[in-house]
Amino acid sequence: MKYLITIVGPTAIGKTSLSIALAQHFKCEIISCDSRQFFKEMTVGTAVPNEEELQSAQHHFIQNKSIFENYTVGDYEKEALIKIEELFQKSNFVILIGGSGLYVDAVLKGFDEFPEIDPAIRSEVNSKYEKLGINYLQEQLKKSDPEYYEKITIENPQTLLNPQRMMRFTEVCLGTGKPYSSFLNQKKNNRDFTPILIGLDAERPIIYDRINQRVAIMMSQGLLEEAKSLYPNKSLNALQTVGYRELFSYFDEEFSLPFAIEEIKKNTRRFSKRQLTWFKRNENTKWFDYATDRKQITDYIENFLK
């Protein structure tokens, strides 16, 4: 039997250190499932594991892509499954560590298949967005797939402000004449491994304090300089990310630097709440307090194996 030990939880909760401890205990390797740590140009602002951490266990999908590449969750699913199968040749265990819920789900359950969309429709949607803004896309989804629009509004409202996601919803609705949601959960993907899901959590004030500390550390490590080097490419999808967007607004003279830093903290706190909402939906996840002794977690996994 092959086991994919999957560690989830909000940002700054301690997933990296736990993943390394488990990788060392089970003598296996780590697959990153953080959709921003894939990009080699983004180091400080994505809290990529440091050199010591990277040397403590073999990691994959860390800074293996460029922000200039078009890399989708579907691409990641295919590549991650190939790598996981390869790693299972060496061990019965692989660690999957992630803060990106959609990417975790893609590996564990599979990604929904959609029909090919006429490039002319894609171009038209893009053109309309540039002229009319995000409101056009929101209205299209609301009209074409009202139930899914309502679901997003309740569960993940930030998605309504994501141009790439909204353009995708719109082009599928217009290109197929069907609701976007009609293509979801159609395919049952078989996986040749058993997932063991471990969640890390803490009281809200502790999570928020850890986030504030992390932002301060990032600033001291050169986040401002990193963001400045990326500023000319600020429109790229990979850079529509908390920690960079706020500093781009500072460079645009829309924010003062102290205000931008506070916005990073506030938006990271909001992101952590959305992460927990997403991950708590999976009732198979075993949740532990972030300060739980590592042995207690390894004991839980050992008992699961029995």
Judge whether residue 113 has pLDDT over 80: no
Q: Answer yes or no: do 52 and 123 share one domain.
A: no
Q: What integer best gives the mean pLDDT of the chain?
A: 93
pLDDT at 33: 93
Does residue 242 belong to any structural domain of this protein? no
What residues make up the domain containing 129? 119-183
pLDDT (average), residues 262-278: 93
pLDDT at 284: 93
Q: Considering only 160-174, 181-195, 228-242, 266-280, which range has the smallest mean pLDDT?
A: 181-195
Residue by residue, DSSP assigns 157-179 as: GGGGG-HHHHHHHHHHHHHHSS-
5 labelled ligand-binding? no
Half-sphere exposure of 144 (CA within 13 A, CB side): 23
- What pTM was computed for the model? 0.79
Judge whether residue 188 has pLDDT over 70: no
Query: How many angstroms separate the CA atoms of 109 and 80, rounded?
Result: 13
Does residue 159 belong to any structural domain of this protein? yes
43 labelled ligand-binding? no
Query: Which CATH number is 61's domain given?
Result: 3.40.50.300
163 labelled ligand-binding? no
Max intra-chain CA distance, the chain: 59
15 labelled ligand-binding? yes
Query: Which CATH number is 165's domain given?
Result: 1.10.20
Judge whether residue 260 has pLDDT over 90: yes
Backbone dihedral region of 12: left (phi > 0), alpha (psi from -120 to 50 degrees) or beta?
left
Judge whether residue 269 has pLDDT over 90: yes
Beta bridge partners of 8: 98, 199
pLDDT digits (tens, 9 = 90+) for 37-73: 999 999 999 999 999 999 999 999 999 999 999 888 8
Q: Answer yes or no: do 105 and 206 share one domain.
A: yes
268's CB contacts (< 8 A; 6+ apart) are: 11, 12, 211, 214, 215, 242, 243
Beta-sheet pairing, 30-32 with 93-98: parallel
Q: Answer yes or no: do 176 and 202 share one domain.
A: no
Does residue 237 belong to any structural domain of this protein? no
3-state helix, strand, coil in the chain (%, to 5): 55, 10, 35
Q: Answer yes or no: do 179 and 38 share one domain.
A: no
Judge whether residue 163 has pLDDT over 90: no
CB 201 within 8 A of CB 172: no
Q: How many structural domains are present in the chain? A: 2
222 labelled ligand-binding? no
146 labelled ligand-binding? no
Q: Answer yes or no: do 49 and 177 share one domain.
A: no
pLDDT (average), residues 131-149: 93
